[in-house]
């Protein structure tokens, strides 16, 4: 049972969340309404800026041609694969760096250089190495997201509370116990934060790859729309990307609520 003060505090938090959600929804509805009105009354060029009604028509057209869900599935599939691989690889390498600080110091400058490279410039090389297929798109996304994941997780592991580590050592805890029972558990909030960044970077990498080589996916729709100067298709694809990004980010936040208490 909650005390009176605790109940009032929780009620205040819930009320604040509802108000924030209502305001966010209101801003979104007003943006859509203003956009539609400006396009309808020719305050903006609907050919260049499209409109909500034209976006809906484009979605219906893609749905009727059975292309919509195929393109969405391809992009989500490539994003999930690259996100999962980048997370696993990043976590393993960051753990190895924590385990052996000597190797981490040797590799660190090279990791920084690789992370700062413009990955899109490597696109032609990736296509030659891997081929013009989904594998090259996934590899592009991996190159974008993996290095930053390693850097963020390694920083989190190395900056863990030294006092707690010394306390565990005083109780004769092994290095394995320290890592799994202290470092890994204590870094869960930072790991979740890395996942939030990683999911966005993976999606960016996938779209960049699709712009270069794909014949399917939302990135392909954007490229095709630019080639035939179909701004409605481009803006519709961008809105779909925003929706996919929001859903994937929300899923990470849901996992965070379940794991990090």
pLDDT digits (tens, 9 = 90+) for 174-229: 888 888 888 888 888 888 888 888 888 899 999 988 888 878 889 999 999 988 88
pLDDT over threshold 70, residue 1: no
Helix (H) or strand (E) holding 214, with range, is none
Q: Which of 195, 190, 194 is nearest to 157 (CA)?
A: 190
How far, in Å, are 41, 57, 61 from residue 45 at the CA level?
A: 10, 17, 22
pLDDT tens per residue, range 18-44: 899 899 999 999 999 999 999 998 888
- Could you report the per-residue pLDDT of 114-157, keeping only the tens digit for each? 888 887 778 788 888 888 888 889 988 998 889 889 998 988 88
Give CA–CA dist 126/12, Å, rounded: 53
What's the CATH superfamily of 60-259? MetI-like (1.10.3720.10)
Domain ranges of the chain: 1-44, 60-259
**How many angstroms separate the Cα of 195 from the Cα of each of 2, 80, 94, 188, 261?**
34, 12, 14, 10, 17
> Which of 55, 56, 59 has the alpha carbon at shortest distance from 72?
59
């Amino acid at each position: 049972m909650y005390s009176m003060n605790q109940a009032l505090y929780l009620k205040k938090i819930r009320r604040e969340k509802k108000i924030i959600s209502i305001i966010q929804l209101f801003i979104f509805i007003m943006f859509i309404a203003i956009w539609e009105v400006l396009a309808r009354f020719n305050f903006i060029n609907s050919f260049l800026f499209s409109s909500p009604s034209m976006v809906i028509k484009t979605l219906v057209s893609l749905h009727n041609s059975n292309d919509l869900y195929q393109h969405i599935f391809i992009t989500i599939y490539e994003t999930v694969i690259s996100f999962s691989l980048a997370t696993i690889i990043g976590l393993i390498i960051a753990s190895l760096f924590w385990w052996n600080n000597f190797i981490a110091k040797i590799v660190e400058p090279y990791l920084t250089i690789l992370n700062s490279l413009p990955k899109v410039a490597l696109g032609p090389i990736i296509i030659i190495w891997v081929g013009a297929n989904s594998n090259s798109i996934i590899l592009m996304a991996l190159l974008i997201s993996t290095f930053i994941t390693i850097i963020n997780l390694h920083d989190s592991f190395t900056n863990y509370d030294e006092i707690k580590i010394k306390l565990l050592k005083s109780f004769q805890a092994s290095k394995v116990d320290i890592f799994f029972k202290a470092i890994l558990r204590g870094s869960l909030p930072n790991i979740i934060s890395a996942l939030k960044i990683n999911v966005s970077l993976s999606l960016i990498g996938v779209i960049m790859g699709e712009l270069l080589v794909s014949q399917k996916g939302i990135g392909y729709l954007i490229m095709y729309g630019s080639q035939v100067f179909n701004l409605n298709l481009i803006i519709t694809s961008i809105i779909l990307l925003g929706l996919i990004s929001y859903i994937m980010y929300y899923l990470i936040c849901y996992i965070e609520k379940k794991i990090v208490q």
